[in-house]
């Protein structure tokens, strides 16, 4: 295993220590339980925006803590959902009195842990909502699976909701916005190589020199299909068409019903993309794919969107939601409207995403 | 001889040892259809359980099990953390206040554990999860206990059933958890959670046998 | 070879096409000869700041074109210095009447090509100076080698000189500043894996599973020494001590003598670091090293600097000067003063580096 | 029979073919002590030379060679571009205006090429560069020409000397170019630039021999 680390068990702890030393003006770190939070938290009257998940996806989520984005991020061990106590402690630390929104990627572990955390917070009288991100079109149905995974749209939701929270959206409005981003965003990813979980010490899967995995998530897991390596234009087309031609996706998620004071099943439907839609195009490196290759993907994606009648009004290109050193990429398209564009353009100042500040 | 709180403590130590010894095996299984962390997570969790036990050594079995459950919830993470954490907490609730556990108490604890897992994870039998190992174990145990069998007999049958249930996950197509994303590709692999569940049930048998009791 | 590309020969062209589509507000692309230039160029009265080099080091240099940094960048083929016509055409495109500064990394090819370009420009009456970056302490002497390579300090020089050019520094003052950054910056790098030049199709060198290369440059070339893999703390210490304890480095470079109107040999001396120095610490990924590992390096570097009496006043952590998908890192320390700090903090708006804009 | 401008054009075609055939070989040599691009660069350069030739087919040898040099400068890049570009431009200047080249003209061209390379790159003999292949070739050619030998004889000796010079770079420790960064590790590898220089000189011999002339 070739990594710039000391002991596998110390990776997350030492990463956090490094972040604390590197960005004291931006974030603070709390240890045991571990979380990263805004140096200026809590912000009175602002909804506290929190996300979290396994480590190994850097810069997500710790790299997205700061003005205009998250108030706190809870890093689990590599590829392992964090625990409810991390999430609850983080919430109490950044609570500005306007409630907490948990942005939760749809993985069984994340969902269960964030639900337990929300229950713990409510027991202490803090208002909290959990909104799921489940945007991975590689997962076709939700009846016979754990439902679509939360992938690239998470980054966009954190940026957009972060700007909205900064603007003063209340918990209800912010939850609605997050849900709107989620149902309008779709992603799909692929891998050229596996990655190595530090504590496991060997590649999660083996791929032949001429093979690739299509339909991967972000946890180094194998994808839905293994196929022969193809030129990037064909790969881009495969991912983009799966996204653009994806039909309405219906599933039931659990959200908190503030009226009834209980968890409620909510049916959500992702509307398909339509000719004339304005989109944000997000080309993401899985961590080991170098910058030189990403514009080549964007070039083809642009052509396909044009052909399909989608207008790219904003883009994001780089390594933002990764699987350690995996080579590969994912594509996310998010249907935009004036509200989303304005929020996307708003200032942001985090380790991983920064503009106008 | 009933199961004492000393036995419960021994059991948790045994589980920690067995999970430690099977860490790589569980992680390998999780590599095939998951994200290569199940053994690592479980090991971290039970090491944390051991740390938390000293403060409850003299408490009742319910308190010990609930403490273990909370330790798991706050250190395992992933799917395993809430599921096993809930299982132990519910088992603890089922035997709250007791210092000695008869076969019927053990059955109640295991039934509560399973209920907790299903409540939290909503998996059905055949979804290729830990439920597929725990359910047959509970059923087997119930049969023995209802017929007046001994704790040892009940645990023997439960372990056999859990082992079969674990192996039966191999041909299954996963419908819950991370493996479900693989669709057809999940077929042919043994579920890591079902495997750890078998190990946890087998560890009870080891403890009971270690007591040399009937 | 696993890459997200189409034909190896098309990589640079398609990369540029993607950049053109992705960032029309920021940069424009000129083809044949290839260069990237500011969308708002030329800026009247401002010195034109230009750099260039082989491709494969992205985001450097094309990703550093924009307000507060470069006016143009000339990308060669992968790891191959660009040609004089690219450099000269780029200069003419962005010339705002105040002359051109070429920031040149010290590689035989780059130096020769930029000198030819400067000669071509002068023949057309454009004032131009070439300032070398040669900061790689892994190269010990300059008498028996081509001299120290230009590595990490290049990024810092481009940012700092870019801010100065924006502020109105004239060609002479800007050249002096660039030289000052160069002699006060030192770097060293290492590799865990090789990279694959697309047109070559196979790794430039083979490294055993338990080996690493120390003292590499940025062209995928082997380093000065191969050794057994070590924990990152030891690697960081090795790189950092080589940098911090490096003695005065003397060499002769060629600059244009505006008085005599000819190339002149100039002797330059890098002053060693001293207790009490304020430094910018730059931890760089070689391209394939994921974000999770970089703070772990920074953590140790911080400790070493503290022990050695150096105060880190600014930092930069990420993949900025890379070797395709190579896993590895480099460390750069730059001695700072008030002028450099102010210029470092100034707004910058490029693809690869952006703040306050 | 003197070398005609048709022969010069044939020569450039031959070089393009030979470099194309040796692209991988040159790149492999550059992998060992450089950055794995020498063959790729040279091939791109001479393909570009071929494109530029049509406009100067009827011109004198000097113009053809200068055009080739300029094509190399604007397409090879790296160290090879300015060095070989300068070499061809200087060679062209040395035979400016000529349509037929005698042995003495060839010598003048090669001498000018070497001078150009040294002027630009400042390498000394023994630095493990192309200079180590070209210098002995020029010396050998000079000796033959000064003794009244034929073009063919001169090119034979020059090629032999270039080949020996190329092989002699193997034990050398590089002091110029990218290989110099490797220090001791550069020893034991043949210099890619010396190798391409040998190929370029050998290609002249091939053309001369192809004419079947003395
Ligand atoms: N909904 C569920 N109900 C019951 N068990 C589940 C469920 N989802 C996953 N599991 C179990 O969890 C195991 C994986 O645990 P682990 O690897 O620790 O978590 P993660 O999948 O978050 O990495 C699976 O093998 C499966 O047995
Ligand atoms: N200063 C120099 N003088 C003469 N030849 C040189 C010099 N530096 C490098 N070379 C030659 O250039 C060759 C490398 O060319 P190439 O790979 O095209 O360029 P780069 O090193 O820029 O990648 C070396 O093998 C060597 O023969
Ligand atoms: Mg996991
Ligand atoms: Mg797992
Ligand atoms: Mg090169
Ligand atoms: Mg080379």
Q: How far apart, in whole angstroms, are the C-alpha atoms of residue A150 and residue A218?
A: 9
**What per-residue confidence (pLDDT) applies to A87?**
98
- Which residues numbered 226-285 in C keep a CB inside 8 Å of some CB on A? 229, 231-233, 235
Q: Residues within 5 Å of ion ligand 5 by Cβ?
A: C 79-80; D 35, 37, 78
- In this prediction, residue D105 has a pLDDT band, given cuts at 50, 70 and 90, of very high
- DSSP codes, A199-261: TT-SBSS---TTEEEEEE-SSS---SEEEE---HHHHHHHHHHHHHT---EEEEEEEEETTTT
Mean pLDDT split into 10-residue runs, chain C, 357 residues:
96 98 98 98 98 98 98 96 97 98 97 97 97 96 88 98 98 98 98 94 92 94 90 98 97 97 97 98 98 98 98 98 98 98 98 98
Tell me the torsion sign for CA atoms A176, A181, A186, A189: negative
Show the beta-strand stretches assigned E in chain B.
3-4, 100-101
Domain count, chain B: 1
CB of B27 within 8 A of CB of B35? no
CATH number at residue B49: 1.25.40.340
Q: Which of C57, C105, C148, C335 is catalytic?
A: C57
Count of all residues that appear for chain D in the document: 214
CATH 3.30.1180.20 boundaries in chain A: 188-244+274-336
Q: Average pLDDT for residues B138-165, to the nearest whole number?
A: 97
Strand-pair partners of C290: none
pLDDT, tens digit, 9 for 90 and up, residues C2-44: 999 999 999 999 999 999 999 999 999 999 999 999 999 999 9
pLDDT surpasses 70 at B213: no
ipTM above 0.90, yes or no: yes
Would you say the CB of residue B214 lies under 6 angstroms from ligand 1? no
**What per-residue confidence (pLDDT) applies to B212?**
59
Residues in B touching A57 (Cβ below 8 Å): none
Q: What percent of chain D has pLDDT over 70?
A: 99
Tell me which chain A residue has its CA closest to the CA of residue C355.
A355
Min Cα distance C327 → chain A (Å) is 8
The range of the structural domain enclosing residue D24 comes to: 3-210
CA of A232 to the centre of ligand 5 (A): 25
Would you say the CB of residue D72 lies under 6 angstroms from ligand 2? no
Q: Which two tokens stand for residue B174?
A: 């996963």
Mean of pLDDT over chain B = 96
Would you say the CB of residue B35 lies under 6 angstroms from ligand 1? yes
Min Cα distance C287 → chain A (Å) is 5
Instruction: Give catalytic status of residue A219 as yes or no.
Output: yes
Three-state SS at A103? strand
DSSP C38: E
Cα distances from D196 to residues C220, D20, D119, D176, D178, in angstroms, run 22, 11, 19, 16, 16
CB contact under 8 A, C197 and D35: yes
Q: How far apart, in whole angstroms, are the C-alpha atoms of residue C318 and residue C298?
A: 11
Q: How far apart, in whole angstroms, are the C-alpha atoms of residue A39 and residue C253?
A: 46
Instruction: Give catalytic status of residue C57 as yes or no.
Output: yes
Chain B: partners with 3+ C-beta pairs within 8 Å: A
**What per-residue confidence (pLDDT) applies to B214?**
43
pLDDT, tens digit, 9 for 90 and up, residues C208-246: 999 999 999 999 888 889 999 999 999 999 999 999 999
Q: Average pLDDT for residues B100-115, to the nearest whole number?
A: 97
DSSP B116: H
Calculate Rg over the CA atoms of chain A. Answer: 19
**What per-residue confidence (pLDDT) applies to C142?**
79
Q: Are strands A128-133 and A100-105 parallel, antiparallel or unpaired?
A: parallel
- From first CA to last CA, the distance across chain A in angstroms is 39
**What per-residue confidence (pLDDT) applies to A222?**
81
CB of C290 within 8 A of CB of C320? no
pLDDT surpasses 80 at D89: yes
Q: How far apart, in whole angstroms, are the C-alpha atoms of residue C138 and residue D77?
A: 25
Of B111, B166, B173, nearest to B133 (Cα)? B166
Would you say the CB of residue B30 lies under 6 angstroms from ligand 1? yes
DSSP C83: -
Residue B34 in contact with partner chain A when CB distance is under 8 A: yes
- In this prediction, residue D212 has a pLDDT band, given cuts at 50, 70 and 90, of low
**What per-residue confidence (pLDDT) applies to C305?**
98
Of D214, D201, D189, D112, nearest to D160 (Cα)? D201
Q: Residues within 5 Å of ion ligand 4 by Cβ?
A: B 30, 34-35, 37-38
Instruction: Describe chain B by its helix, strand, coil percentages, rounded to 5.
Output: 75, 0, 25
Q: Whose CA is nearest to atom 5 of ligand 2?
A: D129
Q: What does CATH list as the number for C21-185+248-269+338-355?
A: 3.40.50.10440
Q: Are strands C348-349 and C311-318 parallel, antiparallel or unpaired?
A: unpaired
Q: Are strands D3-4 and D100-101 parallel, antiparallel or unpaired?
A: antiparallel
Which residue of A56, A292, A357 is in closest CB contact with C11? A292
Mean pLDDT split into 10-residue runs, chain A, 357 residues:
96 98 98 98 98 98 98 96 97 98 97 97 97 96 88 98 98 98 98 94 92 94 90 98 97 97 97 98 98 98 98 98 98 98 98 98
**What per-residue confidence (pLDDT) applies to D183?**
87
Touch criterion met for A and C (3+ Cβ pairs within 8 Å): yes
Which residue of C4, C327, C355 is in closest CB contact with A297? C4
CA of D54 to the centre of ligand 3 (A): 64
Q: Average pLDDT for residues B153-180, to the nearest whole number?
A: 96
Q: Which of C46, C159, C180, C219 is catalytic?
A: C219
Show the beta-strand stretches assigned E in B59-146.
100-101
- DSSP codes, D144-212: HHHTT--HHHHHHHHHHHHHHHHHHTTTPPP-SSGGGGGGGGGTTS--HHHHHHHHHHHHHHHHHHHTT
Q: Which two tokens stand for residue C118?
A: 């400067």
**What per-residue confidence (pLDDT) applies to C49?**
98
Of A129, A97, A98, nearest to A254 (Cα)? A129
Q: How far apart, in whole angstroms, are the C-alpha atoms of residue B18 and residue C32?
A: 66
Strand-pair partners of C235: none
Residue B74 in contact with partner chain A when CB distance is under 8 A: yes
Tell me which chain B residue has its CA closest to the CA of residue A8.
B40
Tell me which chain C residue has its CA closest to the CA of residue A233.
C6
CATH topology of domain C188-244+274-336: Hypothetical Protein Tm841; Chain: A;domain 3 (3.30.1180)
CB contact under 8 A, A204 and B36: yes
CB contact under 8 A, A54 and B77: yes
- DSSP codes, C237-305: HHHHHHHHT---EEEEEEEEETTTTEEEEEEEEEPPP-TT-EEEEEEEE-SSS-TTTHHHHHHHHHHHH
């Amino acid at each position: 295993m070739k990594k710039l680390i000391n002991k596998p068990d110390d990776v997350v702890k030492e990463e956090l220590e490094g972040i604390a030393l590197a960005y004291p003006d931006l974030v603070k770190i709390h240890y045991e339980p571990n979380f990263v939070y805004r140096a200026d938290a809590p912000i009175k009257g602002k909804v506290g925006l929190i996300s979290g998940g396994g480590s190994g996806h850097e810069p997500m989520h710790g790299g997205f803590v700061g003005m205009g984005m998250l108030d706190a991020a809870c890093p689990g061990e590599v590829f392992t959902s964090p625990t409810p106590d991390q999430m609850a402690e983080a919430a109490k630390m950044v609570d500005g009195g306007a409630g907490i929104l948990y942005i939760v990627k749809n993985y069984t572990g994340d969902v269960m842990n964030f639900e337990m955390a929300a229950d713990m917070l409510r027991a202490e009288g803090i208002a909290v909502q959990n909104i799921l991100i489940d945007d991975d079109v590689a997962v076709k149905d939700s009846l016979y699976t754990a439902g679509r995974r939360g992938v690239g749209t998470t980054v966009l939701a954190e940026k957009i909701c972060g700007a909205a929270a900064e603007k003063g959206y209340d918990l209800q409005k912010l939850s609605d916005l997050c849900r709107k981003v989620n149902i309008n965003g779709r992603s799909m990813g692929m891998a050229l190589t596996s990655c190595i979980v530090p504590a496991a010490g060997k590649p999660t899967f083996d791929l032949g020199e001429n093979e690739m995995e299509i339909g991967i998530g972000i946890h180094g897991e194998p994808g839905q299909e293994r196929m022969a390596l193809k030129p990037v234009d064909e790969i881009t087309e495969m991912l983009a068409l799966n996204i653009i031609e994806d039909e309405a996706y219906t599933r039931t998620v659990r959200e908190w019903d503030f009226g009834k004071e209980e968890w409620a099943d909510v049916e959500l439907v992702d509307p398909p993309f339509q000719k004339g839609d304005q989109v944000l195009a997000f080309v993401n490196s899985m961590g080991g794919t170098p910058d030189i290759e990403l514009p080549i993907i964007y070039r083809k994606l642009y052509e396909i969107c044009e052909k399909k009648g989608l207008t790219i009004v904003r883009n994001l290109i780089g390594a933002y939601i990764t699987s350690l050193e995996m080579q590969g990429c994912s594509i996310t398209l998010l249907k935009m409207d004036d509200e989303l564009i304005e929020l996307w353009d708003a200032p942001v100042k985090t380790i991983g995403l920064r503009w106008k500040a | 001889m009933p199961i004492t709180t000393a036995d419960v403590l021994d059991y948790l130590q045994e589980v920690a040892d067995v999970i430690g010894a099977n860490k790589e095996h569980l992680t390998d299984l999780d590599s095939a259809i998951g994200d290569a962390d199940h053994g690592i997570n479980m090991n971290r969790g039970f090491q944390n359980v051991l740390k938390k036990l000293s403060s409850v050594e003299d408490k009742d079995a319910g308190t010990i099990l609930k403490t273990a459950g909370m330790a798991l919830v706050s250190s395992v993470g992933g799917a395993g953390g809430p599921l096993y954490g809930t299982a132990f907490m519910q088992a603890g609730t089922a035997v709250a206040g007791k210092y000695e556990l008869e076969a019927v108490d053990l059955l109640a604890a295991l039934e509560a554990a399973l209920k907790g897992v299903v409540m939290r994870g909503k998996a059905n039998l055949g979804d290729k999860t830990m439920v597929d190992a725990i359910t047959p174990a509970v059923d087997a145990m119930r049969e023995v206990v209802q017929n007046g069998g001994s704790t040892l007999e009940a645990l023997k049958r439960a372990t056999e059933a859990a082992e079969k249930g674990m192996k039966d996950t191999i041909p299954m197509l996963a419908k819950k958890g991370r493996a479900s994303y693989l669709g057809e590709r999940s077929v042919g692999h043994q579920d890591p959670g079902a495997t750890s569940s078998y190990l946890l049930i087998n560890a009870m048998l080891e403890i009971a046998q270690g007591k040399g009791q009937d």
